[in-house]
Structures are given as C-alpha cells and as structure tokens.
Amino acid sequence: MKEKNENLLYDHRHIKVTRLDKDLEISLESLDIERVSLLLRNYILHTSVHLSSDMDIKEKYFYLMSLYIAFIQKRGWYVHDVLFHHELYSGDGKELPSHKELLTIFEEISMKVLQHIEKEGHPQNKLVQQVMVLVEERIYEDISLKDVAENIYVNSSYLSRLFSKEKGMSFSQYVVERKMLMAKTMLQKGEKISNVSRQLAYKDVSYFTKVFRRYWGMTPRGMLTTLKSEKRRVGAHL
C-alpha cells in the first residue's frame, strides 16, 4: 500500500534542495550523524518534489543517491566498496518503499559512508570544521580569513593552506559559494535584490550582481524571472 503523505510542502521544494547538497556534504565530512539524519528527515518527510507520492519517492531516491555517489567518487573511492551490495532501485516496476522506508534506507547508507570515512580516511581536520561552522554563523557578515584565524587562534597563512588542502578551494571561494547559495534561497523567499545584497554584507549591489552572475551564470534579476516562471508552472498543475 502506497503511503499518502499530506504534509508535503510542494512550494518549498527549491529552498530545501538548494542547500541540501552542501549541508549534507558538510555533515558527512564532520561525522555529524545527528545532523545528517535531520537533513534527510526534513527532505524526505517534509518536502515535496512531485505531486504524485510514487514519483516523489522516485525523485528523492535518485537525487539523494546522486549526492552520495558524488560524495564517494569525489574522494576517489569505489561506490561498490562503500555501499557494498546495496540494491539500487531500477525503475523496472519493483514496488516502491514508503517515505519512512526511504528515510531508513538513506540513514543506513549514511552509516556505511561514515564507517568508510573512519576506515579509509581521516575525519575532516577539526580546524577546518571550526572554520565551516564560523562561516555559517557569520554568513551575514563580511567575514575574512584573518577574522576566522584570530577567532580560533591559529596563523592565517597556515589556516589558508590547510583549508585549501582539505576543501579543494580557497577560503574566499568557499565563503562566496555559501553566500551565493544563501542569496538564491533568499530570492526564492521573495527578498528584494538590494535587501539580499545588504544582508549578505555586499555594500555595492552592482558588485553583488557581478559575483552572483559569475557563480550562477545569470543575474539576480534573471534568477527571479526564472523562479517566477517555475512558480507559474507549478501553480498551473495545482
């Protein structure tokens, strides 16, 4: 019997998915199983990507599996070695799990990934974890590497090299990435471009627009137009 979930929030799907990939990656790297479970629960049980329950489960399964496979391959591991004999859904008519069963599946997958991190690689450097937490806490500020280094009492040059080695990007690139993901979420919530720029500590709207376009491949206004078109399409099917 297929599960009927009446609490799915269709209009919120973009907001949830926008940050899920990065938040999930950070939580896995930090070995924060409680945070991983919370993210999975919010996405699977309290967010909708399709009006049909069956299609909603399918889409969530493939999207989440793509995130975990990307996470595994990014670290140079074989998917089979990490997930062992986990049976992928093939879309061949096999009975779909319920949303709750889907949550259980990905909690189990998460444990396998975390076990492999502990077995094959070292948990992410504690200093880098602190940096990532500070960036999230101060995302609305003009935060610099020097500020963060002073906050955790380490040399900024050393922290810069360590962060780049661990994350594969510079501290400034990481901050821009987090701010741009937040900017898109804020625009989706209906915030004005000038307000988004100001709240994310970009004093010059034109510079914010330049950074946004470089990251997303379109201006904030172009993003708003795209989001409005998507909303109209969704409304037409309700």
What pLDDT, in 10s, does the model give residues 79-136?
888 886 555 544 444 567 899 999 999 999 999 888 887 776 554 577 888 898 899 8
Helix/strand/coil for 65: helix
* CA–CA separation, 60 and 12 (whole Å): 14
| Sequence ranges of the domains in the chain | 10-120, 126-236
Reference 53, options 6, 107, 18, 89; nearest CA is 6
* CA–CA separation, 24 and 35 (whole Å): 8
Residues with pLDDT less than 70, the chain: 1-19, 84-95, 120-124, 230-238
pLDDT at 20: 81
pLDDT at 8: 34
Alpha helical stretches, state H, the chain: 13-29, 33-46, 53-74, 79-83, 99-120, 126-137, 145-151, 156-167, 171-188, 193-199, 205-216, 220-236
pLDDT at 11: 35
Whole-model pTM? 0.53
- CATH 1.10.10.60 for the 126-236 domain, yes or no: yes
**Position 207: which residue type?**
Y
pLDDT at 25: 82
